[in-house]
């Protein structure tokens, strides 16, 4: 059973370009979470999605950032008009479900975004 897959693993963009980060959850998982990790900081929650639905985007910057999880295909985190401050590692996690019991989130290897 493949784990959470993310691509690309490394992405270099110039200021003003767009960055698209992809995440395929573990087989059977329908809940996807995106986190951002800045250098020397902990992981910060960005958004939680189920298929075709954004459940919680309270951690997403108000501008330039968007996320989707279509019925078919991977979840995509999109950053428009990137700035240097967007340089970070972006991790995706997935879980089987959300319910009364806390559900373990399994993380992908991350995409390291560098904005020049």
Partner 1 sequence: EDKVVQSPLSLVVHEGDTVTLNCSYEVTNFRSLLWYKQEKKAPTFLFMLTSSGIEKKSGRLSSILDKKELFSILNITATQTGDSAIYLCAGLGPLGTYKYIFGTGTRLKVLA
Contacts to partner 1 by CB under 8 A: 3-4, 31, 33, 35, 40-45, 48, 55-56, 58-59, 91, 98, 100, 102, 104-110
Q: Which is nearer to partner 1, 3 or 68 (CB)?
A: 3
If residue 48 lies in a helix (H) or strand (E), which one and from where to where?
A: strand 43-50
Whole-number minimum distance, CB 91 to partner 1, in Å? 7
Q: 56 with 49: CB under 8 angstroms?
A: no
Whole-number minimum distance, CB 67 to partner 1, in Å? 14
Whole-number minimum distance, CB 39 to partner 1, in Å? 11
Q: Which is nearer to partner 1, 79 or 111 (CB)?
A: 111
**Alpha-carbon dihedral 45, 50, 51, 52, rounded to 10 degrees:** -70
Q: Which is nearer to partner 1, 3 or 114 (CB)?
A: 3
Name, in order, each residue with C-beta under 8 angstroms of 65's C-beta and a sequence gap of 6 or more.
46, 77, 78, 79, 80
Q: Which is nearer to partner 1, 82 or 92 (CB)?
A: 92
Rounded to whole angstroms, how far apart are CA atoms 77 and 80?
A: 10
């Amino acid at each position: 059973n493949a784990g959470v897959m993310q691509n690309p693993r490394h992405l270099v963009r110039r200021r003003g370009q767009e960055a698209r980060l992809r995440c395929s959850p573990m087989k059977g998982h329908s809940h996807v979470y995106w986190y951002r990790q800045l250098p020397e900081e902990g992981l910060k929650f960005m958004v939680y999605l189920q298929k075709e639905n954004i459940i919680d985007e309270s951690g997403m910057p108000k501008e330039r950032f968007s996320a989707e999880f279509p019925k078919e295909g991977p979840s995509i985190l999109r950053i428009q008009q990137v700035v240097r401050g967007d340089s970070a590692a972006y991790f995706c996690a997935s879980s089987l479900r959300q319910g009364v019991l806390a559900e373990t989130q399994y993380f992908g290897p991350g995409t390291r975004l560098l904005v020049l």
